Amino acid sequence: MKTKVAIIGSGNIGTDLMTKIVGSSKSLEMAAFVGIDPASDGLRRAAKFGVPYTSAGIGGLLKMPGFDDIRIVFDATSAKTHHHHDAVLRSHGKTLVDLTPAAIGPYTIPAVNGDANVRLPNINMVTCGGQATIPIVAAVGKVAKVRYAEIVASIASKSAGPGTRANIDEFTETTCRAICEIGGAERGKAIIVLNPAEPPMIMRDTVYCLTDEADRDAITKSVEDMVDRVQQYAPGYRLKQAVQFESVKLRVPELGGDACGLKTSVFLEVQGAGHYLPTYAGNLDIMTCAALQIGEKVAVRA
């Protein structure tokens, strides 16, 4: 029997996740889709799929006939709103998978620590940039201690809806913390770029790691193995070019001054699956792919 789930948020991320669950999940069943705009395309799609839905927000969810049978709730709204949702739904014994940068629950990236938090009441999926880049920081960290890691996530401006734009500050703060807590770096920095180019470009990510001199072949192998792991649930994730290395001496304010060592540069791109969103919106696709992966792990461990 499939585990019944709900999604709150009828925007791009919530609708794409619903489409994935309806179309491919072997362990999850859509029991409710929740929005606040009756005219949203997401709610229209829910009706088309035959998924129970409400435009009355979380209050409407609580009143739905099948609410008691729902075990997992995916929150695809905003960091601020998630705090309220967590307080309400946790009191009803629901497991929350948080696709906002609220970071109430522990940071979770399937390829890095996907099994560690599946029994907890709130699981945070970091950010799209975090899902794409932190696995690489962790891969480098398996070979050498990462003293500093910097990630730059460049996404198509058209893929950044109102929810994404409202969360920009939380994006940088949450990703930066997760670079250290999950990636293992001593210090970290996260930058997001909304690229207005036409036609829209797919998600591009750059990861810089500073370590002491280390085995470059071992780092390359670790990075390539990690890319393979991420591809198991996000097939559009790939290396754009070979891993680059440079022995450097540079000024890193986050480390308090000059630093010497090995600079590892990794260049990635993420192409979306095109289930609901355009294929250039790899930033949103990797979030929904990761959330689906964690939701299925929670269901298996029920």
Nearest to 168 by CA among 128, 131, 134: 128
- Distance of alpha carbon 272 from alpha carbon 128, whole angstroms: 12
CB-facing half-sphere around the CA of 43: CA atoms within 13 A: 14
CB-CB contact of 242 with 291 (8 Å): no
Q: How many residues does the chain have?
A: 302
- Distance of alpha carbon 176 from alpha carbon 160, whole angstroms: 20
Residue type, 184: G
Residue type, 103: A
CB-CB contact of 279 with 271 (8 Å): yes
The terminus-to-terminus CA distance of the chain in angstroms comes to 11
Concerning whether 209 is annotated as a catalytic residue, the answer is no
Catalytic residue among 128, 176, 209, 289: 128
- Containing H/E element for 215? none
List the structure tokens of 143: 């070979």
* Phi, psi at 297, each rounded to 5°: -65, -40
* Phi, psi at 198, each rounded to 5°: -125, 130
- Distance of alpha carbon 25 from alpha carbon 292, whole angstroms: 8
CB-CB contact of 135 with 230 (8 Å): yes
What are the residue ranges of helices labelled H in the chain? 12-24, 41-49, 57-63, 79-90, 110-113, 128-141, 162-166, 168-181, 216-231, 282-300
Q: What is the edge-to-edge ordering of all strands in the sheet holding 95-98? A: 53-54, 28-34, 3-8, 72-75, 95-98, 122-124
Residues with active-site annotation: 128
